[in-house]
Amino acid sequence: MRKRVVLYRPVPADVLEILRARFDVTAFDEVSEANRPQFVQALGSAHGIMGNTLKITAALLDAAPELEVASTISAGYDAFDVEALTRRGVVLTNTPDEVTETTADLVFALLLSSARRVVELANWARAGEWRGGVSEHYFGMDVHGRTLGIVGLGRIGAAVARRAAQGFGMRILFTKRRPDPHAESAWGAQRCELDALLAQSDFVCTMVPLSSETHHLIGARELGLMKPDAILINASRGPVVDEAALIAALESGQIRGAGLDVFEREPLPADSPLYSLPNVVALPHIGSATRATREAMARRAAENLIAALEGRHVSTIVNPQVMELRRARGVCM
């Protein structure tokens, strides 16, 4: 009997064909209030699911008694109740490698745009305000030779550090649970505690996954430790930063500015002060949003799903402890 798969995000046509050649596929472009009953009904016989952004809760998993694999088309997996998946013996896979370089590009775009006031001054010029030379009032700040503090030197953080050190001659500080000999030798990076990083950095870049430990990791106290001329960059997950505290710090001039691709609530409400503050660059969560990267993510997610459902090894399993549960139940992978 062919296994059944439910997709809840669009995928490229060739990826869909690959999946349909192996499984019975039910595809939803998205899950809304209108089609949620049909989606839940499809989950009832699903062996695998694939998509992103939708919250996969324990209650939703109760509707999927046959589920074996959840494959997310993303590096992050905070949309999933990992504990509930693991308890049910469901493998969760992600796509961390495909997003690394593209997201690092976007992080640096935020950094440069914030430092040189690119969006603010482009809008100023477009509004017809550019009538002569640009006065000191509109000057930005240099990036080259400055200090970049990276909170969480994982895959993407390391790619940002490489760009900063090799391309802009920046001094790199980072926080990480363990030393990183490669970063230290290749880029002269220095590992330090968060408070020291905040106090010394001209740019602070948050690159940690969202968890109970990192929720509001950067709050009023942490923002108060930053230099008055410092800029905060967040392209990880919105709730890593206390948004209300950040808005207060930006409005008061406690820090110079912020470059943000993620927010506590997405889409960011139209009346958010972050849209009206001139010292903020706010993007609509586009870290991995290039055609090549999104297609690569979809293909890897499909490959993960196929391998896991066919009992083969998958290198990017979020909850490897589920393997012990499967072995205990006599299921091989």
266: annotated active-site residue: yes
Tell me how far apart the alpha carbons of residues 209 and 75 are, in angstroms, rounded to a whole number.
9
Both tokens of 75, joined, read 């590096």
List 83, 129, 193, 266, catalytic entry: 266
Residue in the structure block whose two tokens are 């499909």:
302
285: annotated active-site residue: yes
List 47, 285, 294, 300, catalytic entry: 285
Tell me how far apart the alpha carbons of residues 5 and 139 are, in angstroms, rounded to a whole number.
54
Tell me how far apart the alpha carbons of residues 75 and 88 are, in angstroms, rounded to a whole number.
22
Pairing of strands 4-7, 24-27: parallel
Q: Which residues neighbour 81 within 8 Å (Cβ) at sequence distance 6 or greater?
A: 56, 57, 58, 61
Indicate the burial class of 162 (C-beta count within 10 angstroms; 0-12, 13-18, 19 or more).
Answer: middle
List 47, 146, 163, 237, catalytic entry: 237
Using an 8 Å Cβ cutoff, are 72 and 52 in contact?
yes
| Residues involved in catalysis | 237, 266, 285
